[in-house]
Amino acid sequence: MISIIIRTKNEEKYLKKCLLILNQQNFNNYEIIIIDNNSSDNTIKIAKKFKCKIIYYPKNLKFNYSKAINIAINSSKGNLISILSAHCIPYDNYWMYNAVKHFENIDVGAVYSKQIPTKNSKSSDTRDLFQVFRSETIYQSKDSYFNNASSFFRKSLWNSNKFDEKINGLEDLCWAREIQKKNYKIVYEPKSKVYHYHGINQNTDEKRLLRHIKILKDRKFI
């Protein structure tokens, strides 16, 4: 079984599209869990229409990406976990199948998808997505690039390596590096595709950029 974790914060614009294509996947053994960060729009109403399991991020806590994922996985039933941004729309009905097939290989610990721009993506985001997400499947033994906008991994690995709540961002890369230390491979699968309108750098958001650079330096990636 796969547990799909979707983090939300006022995602009414994209969530319905995301959930519609999830319910058309060529894979039928899965659950969808929404972890919501105090949305004030129609996000929850949409999620309820699709019968998603809804968990609310504690209002008394500052939002942390890692903590949100960990809270949701604690309530999951699947032996495989998928993290999907609410504004990432699976490209087709095989988004899940094309990723999950890699877990037949016991050496594979995690898989991440190709991200492609939408018609509304800014030029810089379109460029970044093209440069990062190429067209060939890659098995990564040392390169720990991994992306939780659309990812899949074994819950058993999460049980022994939770996402690091001391950082707020790049939790995916840090987690992937720890998994590789245990000799698991990270797979990039371009046939598992999602539309991602703001790309990986959010049009070079300066505040986000500085936060990520600090994490990269603190964790000795650079």
The β-bridge relationship of strands 53-56 and 80-85 is unpaired
pLDDT of 13: 94
> Mapped to the 3 state alphabet, what secondary structure does 69-97 carry?
HHHHHHCCCCCEEEEEECCEEECCCCHHH
pLDDT, tens only, 129-159: 999 999 999 999 999 999 999 999 999 999 9
4's tokens: 């799909």
Residue 45, exposed/middle/buried by CB under 10 A (0-12, 13-18, 19+)?
exposed
pTM here is 0.95
The β-bridge relationship of strands 2-8 and 30-36 is parallel
Residue 220, exposed/middle/buried by CB under 10 A (0-12, 13-18, 19+)?
exposed
Alpha-carbon distance 89 to 100, whole Å? 17
- In single-letter form, the type of residue at position 9 comes to K
**Confidence band, pLDDT 50/70/90 cuts, at residue 200:** confident
50's tokens: 């699709």
Supply φ then ψ for residue 115, to 5 degrees: -115, 130
CA proximity to 72, closest of 30, 15, 33: 33
pLDDT of 204: 65
Q: Give kind and range of the element (H or E) at residue 185.
A: strand 185-196
Residue 69, exposed/middle/buried by CB under 10 A (0-12, 13-18, 19+)?
buried
Supply φ then ψ for residue 173, to 5 degrees: -65, -45
Q: Region 156-166: what's the mean pLDDT?
A: 97
211's tokens: 């936060």
Per-residue CA distances from 216 to 130, 167, 188, 207, 209 (Å): 22, 10, 21, 15, 11
* Domains in the chain with CATH codes: 2-218 (3.90.550.10)
pLDDT of 188: 98
Q: Region 99-125: what's the mean pLDDT?
A: 96
What percent of the chain has pLDDT above 90? 86
pLDDT of 192: 98
Higher pLDDT, 212 or 37: 37
pLDDT of 75: 96
pLDDT, tens only, 18-33: 999 999 999 889 999 9
**Confidence band, pLDDT 50/70/90 cuts, at residue 201:** confident
Other CB atoms within 10 Å distance of the CB of residue 60: 4
Q: Region 195-211: what's the mean pLDDT?
A: 80
Q: Which residues partner with 114 through β-bridges?
A: 193
90's tokens: 């699976």
pLDDT, tens only, 34-62: 999 999 999 999 999 999 999 999 999 99
